[in-house]
A = this chain, B = another copy of it.
Amino acid sequence: MSTDFSATRAAFDLPEGIIYLDGNSLGPLPRAAAARVERAVTGEWGRMLVTGWNKAGWMDQPSKIGNRIATLIGAEPDSVVMGDTLSIKVYQALASALEMNPTRRVILSDTGNFPSDLYMAEGLCRTLGSGYTLKTVAPEDIAAHIDETVAVTLITEVDYRTGRKHDMAALTARAHAAGALTVWDLAHSAGAFPVYLADCRADFAVGCTYKYLNSGPGGPAFIYVAPRHADTARPALSGWLGHESPFAFDTTYRPGTGIERMRVGTPPVLQMAALEASLDIWDSVSLNDLRTASLALTDRFIAGVEAACPTLTLATPRDHAARGSQVSFRHPEGYAIMQALIARGLIGDFRAPDILRFGFTPLFIGAPEVDAAVAVLAEVMDKSLWDQPQFKTRARVT
């Protein structure tokens, strides 16, 4: 049955007594990851020592795993490579894109972007000087601001606060029509729904693996460069593993072929081992089925919460096409509410100033968890009388 995720669910080691609606922050532990990491530690590092770089294939992991990620984000073969953190990869993609569009000076982003993306862009602009600026507009206004001054757009497809999903195809087309390049941040997209980088003609994309892809805390990031750019993009962060011939130890940099040039330093072998195990689960997943299941779960949660908790205000679009795989509600006492939920075993996230955020991950979350989550939320909202003036003296005893 296509939308039966019982097999993937069984592949995760989930604690008892927890409803985990935070897989969009940190995915849970795949059962196979523990053994895979243990093998990397004792079987590979312990027994092979330095020869593991070749014998255990550590050196090739960033590209091999990159190709597995590529299949999840609609990317061409050999267009994705792993390494570093998402913030670093944002910098690398932006710096490359700016250099490919040298007559323009504006990075355009939106206030719904994850702050680290904005910070990295700001830092890059300050390093570049020469009039480079980061222009930030409201998410709903971004299309209107893509004009002939924009060198590159830096857009996170799904808003980490609201779950609002941008239209990648339309915004990319608009950027190209205006002569701008695109950097897409897929932090809340990869593993959340089908992504079509190649079909959208995206130029660059970046993402992390510890959210929907369940690679564990601090798992490596990925970077995508469209094959049409891959042999011309210059990696500003030009490390030895992106060199054409790293082990020649030349004193002069020559970029490697294609996406390989976006590698920088020594890859995190233990984190990659966990990622490898988590990707095995994805081998059997249809992203279309996942999307169907995700929308059913988020619809169900929205309906349940709206019926039970009238003081919570939906922050997530009702329109399926504009929704990622999370649901958020606003409440002025959101922080305290989330503490109360967590105390009852319902784990979501609070995001300042007033967002309660719940991630829906069909690989291990189904309708029973949604219904249980609604019940906990209803209980907390009812019991604690959040809208009473005396709230602050009573809220946190839960």
Residues in A lying within 8 Å of B, measured CB to CB? 13, 15, 18, 20, 22, 25-26, 28-29, 33-34, 37-38, 41-42, 44-47, 49-53, 58, 84-88, 91, 95, 99, 111, 114-116, 118-120, 122-124, 126-130, 136, 161, 208, 210, 216-221, 234-243, 247-253, 264-272, 274, 342, 347, 349, 351-352
Contacts and interface: CB of A to CB of B under 8 A. Distances in A.
B87 A265 contact: yes
A42 B236 CA distance: 37
A25 B274 CA distance: 23
A269 B53 CA distance: 21
Contact of A123 (B161, B236, B251): B236
Given A58-B217, A247-B352, A41 B34 contact: yes
A164 to B, nearest CB: 16
Nearest to A110: B251
Q: Which 9 A-B pairs have the closest CB atoms?
A: A85-B265, A116-B240, A123-B238, A217-B269, A218-B268, A87-B239, A87-B265, A29-B46, A119-B253
A121 B202 CA distance: 29
Nearest to A218: B268
In the complex, the count of this chain's copies comes to 2
A234 B20 CA distance: 38
Nearest to A31: B46
A141 to B, nearest CB: 14
A348 B40 CA distance: 21
A29 B41 contact: yes
B49 A22 contact: yes
Contacts of A249: 115, 161, 351-352
B115 A251 contact: yes
